[in-house]
A and B are shown apart, each in its own frame.
Chain A
Amino acid sequence: MLEASGLMVFYENMLALNNVALRCGEDEIVGVFGANSAGKSTLMYALSGIMLDVEKKERMAGGERITLAGEVRYRGRDIMNLKASKRARLGIVLCPERRRLFKESTVLENLKIGAYLATAAQAKETLAYVFKIFPALEKLKTRLSGFLSGGEQQMLAIGRALMAQPKILLLDEPLLGLSPLMQAMLMRAVREIRDERRIAIIVTEQYARPVMPIVDYAFILENGSAVLEGVRDDLMDNPDVKAAYFGV
């Protein structure tokens, strides 16, 4: 469904992504694991097209020169030069790291803003669905999103991404700073979303334990390169992976 090959990103002369190949099939949950600065967020930016925007901003402001190379294919179509907004229209929706909610809007407004690409009927149906999988949000409908707790904010961020009617959802570190209980709950919800909405999902995380049970296939990034990949059970048995990403 979404396929990247030879993906390279340079920040000035620093290599942030080195020849990364990644693929995600229909209805699959793919995990991407790596430590800080391994290139997870850069990968998500490159897949969602935000990188093009960052590159342009840096160029205009005379900052770092960012170079992108390689190929990103979506259902066989090369989308490497497609803007982030166009990619979102195709159904590639990013739920960014640190949530990036519209802090001064209420929960309901955030969700409605997310539904910009949806028809009225879709929006209504998805809104009901978001409140079904995240019942906590319904009670907070009129609260400003900036005042929600971390877990509630993350639920809202995922909900907002869902409102855009994604075909493939990119979740960038959705568990950042959440309690283990909240992490488990979110991961159950993510699996439910995949099962019920038939959405492919790519999820990045530093610590693999809470995410591993729900993924079908996983990649491990180290210093910008995809050093290991495999189906879940293979990776779980790999001693190196156990040591580095499960804390065993």
Chain B
Amino acid sequence: MAVAQRRRERIDRGIKVRTDGFYALMSWRELGYLTLPRFLLIAGLLALPFLMPSMYWQRVISIVCIYAFLALSFDFLAHFVGLVSLGGAFFVGIGGYMSAVLNTELGLAPMLAIPAATLLGAGVCTLLLLPCLPLRGVYFAIVTLMYPLFAARTIEALDILGGTDGIMGIDSFPGPWIEQYFVIGMLLLAIFGLRRLVNTDFGLVLQAVKDNDQAVRASAMNVTRFKAIAVFIGSAMGCLGGACLVHIYMWAGISQFALDFSVLPIAATVIGGAGTLVGPVLGCLILVPASEMLREFGTLRIVFYSLILVGFIVFRSDGLMVWARRKYHQFERWTEI
């Protein structure tokens, strides 16, 4: 018989077990336990513009939120529908150009142009991606990677929509505060909205599509239709980000189809924790400002940036959010075997 050995066990905290059912709430403490993480997220995001009052950092906050839209969209499509989309840049570009055209050609105010561009852009993205929906895994990823390149080169070659100069003279938001609280508000809406959506019956079907689409088909459900709706939701978030972006920069150009918009959200998802929805937002909150602060290092920026990413993937590949959630809900102790 082997000598007595120990193992570290994880046990759910008592309060976690007590608060698992909403109707079992007995005290302010339990209520607080449930709401604290959500409250921290909401309050933290809302307080950000006050904590970072300089013009420069306010701009960074807006950009963080735009990347967060894309990261949410990637996380939703990849981990709840099984469509690994590298088309973040495509969504941003379509949403951006759509809002720019609505604003400059039709004279819609930004606050009208953005929602319109979100819905119209999502419709266009969904229609264009429709032929690719039967593809899975790496094939879908490759195809969606081609879309932004395709769009950017088309605009460049045909010299439409301002060609390489882009569309200038776009109205900005009515003010910096409105700009920031608009994107933050929309981001919070997107996080909690998606959180709800993935737990509805519809969300369950989407997750089933990810697990085994043949079984879903055998249950008499139209897989392509579900995927199309999911792509509409995902691309709507990307288009919203793009539409906000052009009104922040007051310019729409082919750099909105840049690969950054596809790649950085994925990195943020890896760091924040895949499949948690909140994680990717946290990832953006870390990565985007980090990339700004690393600007001082010039070209070495990419080196440090890559090191951070590699470190996370090697040592914490479960992501921050998964780790934090476990620490919040469980404690550990040694026991004799």
Known: A62-B322, A62-B326, A65-B8. A71 touches B2 (CB 8 A): yes
Contacting residues, chain B, for A60 (C-beta < 8 A): 317-318
Kindly supply a per-residue 1/0 record for chain B positions 48-72, scoring 1 wherever the CB is within 8 Å of any chain A CB and 0 otherwise.
0000000000000000000000000
Number of A-B contacts (CB under 8 A): 36
Residue from the list B2, B5, B323 in contact with A62, Cβ < 8 A: B323
Q: How far is the CA of A50 from the CA of B97 in the complex (A)?
A: 53
Q: Tell me how far the C-beta of B1 lies from the nearest C-beta in chain A, rounded to whole angstroms.
A: 5
CB distance from B329 to the nearest CB of A (A): 13
Which segment, of A2-10, A166-174, A180-188, faces chain B? A2-10
Task: List the B residue with the shortest CB-CB distance to A65.
Answer: B10
Q: Which residues of B, 53-98, contact A by the 8 Å Cβ criterion?
A: none
Residues of A within 8 Å of B319, CB to CB, are: 62
List chain B residues, Cβ under 8 A from A5: 1-2
Contact A8 B337 (CB under 8 A): yes
Closest to A13 in B: B9
**What distance in Å separates the Cβ of B51 from its nearest Cβ neighbour in chain A?**
30
Complex contacts, A69 vs chain B, CB 8 Å = 2, 5, 7, 337
Distance A171 CA – B7 CA, assembled complex (angstroms) = 30
For A60, give the chain B residue with the smallest CB separation.
Answer: B317
Q: Chain A nearest CB: distance from B311 CB in Å?
A: 14
- Interface positions of A from 34 to 91, Cβ below 8 Å from B: 60-63, 65, 67, 69-71
Contact (Cβ within 8 A) B2 A6: yes
Using Cβ atoms and an 8 Å threshold, which residues of chain A touch B8? Answer: 65, 67
- Indicate if B135 sits at the interface (CB-CB under 8 A): no
Q: How far is the CB of A119 from chain B (nearest CB, A)?
A: 37
- Answer whether residue A26 sits at the interface, using C-beta atoms and an 8 A cutoff: no
- Is B146 on the interface with A (CB-CB < 8 A)? no
A26, B235: Cα distance in complex, Å: 63
How many Å from the CB of A57 to the closest CB on chain B? 10
A61 touches which of B2, B10, B11, B318 (Cβ 8 Å): B318
Rounded to whole angstroms, the CA-CA distance of A61 and B316 in the bound complex is 8
CB distance from B212 to the nearest CB of A (A): 16
| Shortest Cβ distance from B273 into A: residue | A62
CB distance from B273 to the nearest CB of A (A): 8
> Does A12 have its Cβ within 8 Å of any Cβ on chain B?
yes
The residues in A between 6 and 42 inclusive whose CB is less than 8 angstroms from any CB of B are 6, 8, 10, 12-13
**Which of chain A's residues has its CB closest to B1's CB?**
A6
Residues in B neighbouring A71, C-beta threshold 8 A: 2
Instruction: Report the Cα distance A8→B3, complex, angstroms.
Output: 13
Q: Inside 8 A of B337's CB, which chain A residues have their CB?
A: 8, 67, 69
In the bound complex, CA of A208 to CA of B231 (Å): 51
Distance (whole angstroms) from the CB of B176 to the closest CB of chain A: 39
